[in-house]
Chains A and B, each alone.
Chain A
Amino acid sequence: GENVEQHPSTLSVQEGDSAVIKCTYSDSASNYFPWYKQELGKGPQLIIDIRSNVGEKKDQRIAVTLNKTAKHFSLHITETQPEDSAVYFCAAISTGGGNKLTFGTGTQLKVEL
């Protein structure tokens, strides 16, 4: 089955700086890669996703890049704000996996004033 690794586990940045979170996946058949933001005590919120036929996608301050050859994808947050502080999870879906998401281990992002 699919295995998703995520780094770093914690990330602390100054307000206004950029934050980058990286994930790798094992199943070359995976074709959908969403990113979720989870605030304390709440469910995950989809913030951006990318499909395997696209190399990069951007939505305001958030961007995701995908390298299919290397089987890794990254989340980039620019101009970070305190409200960006949360746990971020990457995930992957394999075409043969019945639409089941495999999650990374999560990154605790802290944006300091």
Chain B
Amino acid sequence: GAVVSQHPSWVICKSGTSVKIECRSLDFQATTMFWYRQFPKQSLMLMATSNEGSKATYEQGVEKDKFLINHASLTLSTLTVTSAHPEDSSFYICSGGLAGTDTQYFGPGTRLTVL
């Protein structure tokens, strides 16, 4: 199946700093990329949908100024958590969608811990 990578796999940062997470589709072009957040023992919650070259669409309750998403190419999307606080600590997962299909392939996730 299609492969999606994320970098870094884990990051620890101080409160108030910003953190950037990269999501890459390695062997396919992802017209659409999705960003999810998962708290311990919970399901995945969609944060935003991004299409290459256009602004991301955020889900209700997700602050677009806090979670900046850039989808500059068909193989790369980035999520920047700005002014991170302890409550932003979570497992962030991206997925890439193949053009013309419903199938989403997920990355391995990034564990963010904000001290």
Question: CB within 8 Å of B: which residues of A?
Answer: 31-32, 34, 36, 41-46, 49, 89, 93, 98-101, 103-106
Chain A residues with CB under 8 Å of B13's CB are: none
Cβ-closest chain B residue relative to A95 = B102
Q: List residues of B (29-61) whose CB comes within 8 Å of A's CBs.
A: 32, 34, 42-46, 49, 57
Question: In the complex, what's the smallest C-beta–C-beta distance from A2 to chain B, in angstroms?
Answer: 11
Verify A41–B111 contact, CB threshold 8 A: yes
Whether B113 sits at the interface, judged by CB under 8 Å, is no
Chain A residues with CB under 8 Å of B105's CB are: 46
Question: In the complex, what's the smallest C-beta–C-beta distance from B4 to chain A, in angstroms?
Answer: 8
Cβ-closest chain A residue relative to B91 = A41
Q: List residues of B (1-19) whose CB comes within 8 Å of A's CBs.
A: 1, 4, 6
Verify A93–B49 contact, CB threshold 8 A: no
Whether B67 sits at the interface, judged by CB under 8 Å, is no
Cβ-closest chain B residue relative to A9 = B41
Chain A residues with CB under 8 Å of B34's CB are: 100-101
Verify A99–B102 contact, CB threshold 8 A: yes
Known contacts A99-B32, A103-B44, A104-B43: does B106 contact A45 (CB below 8 Å)?
A: yes
The tally of residues in B whose CB lies under 8 Å from a CB in A reads 23
Verify A43–B109 contact, CB threshold 8 A: yes
Verify A42–B109 contact, CB threshold 8 A: yes
Most buried by A among B1, B44, B97, B107: B44
Question: CB within 8 Å of A: which residues of B?
Answer: 1, 4, 6, 32, 34, 42-46, 49, 57, 93, 97, 102-109, 111
Most buried by A among B46, B104, B108, B111: B104
Q: List 13 A-B contacts (CB under 8 A).
A: A34-B102, A42-B108, A43-B106, A43-B108, A44-B44, A44-B93, A46-B105, A46-B106, A49-B103, A89-B44, A99-B102, A103-B44, A105-B43
Verify B103–A36 contact, CB threshold 8 A: no
Cβ-closest chain A residue relative to B1 = A46
Question: In the complex, what's the smallest C-beta–C-beta distance from A9 to chain B, in angstroms?
Answer: 10
Cβ-closest chain B residue relative to A100 = B46
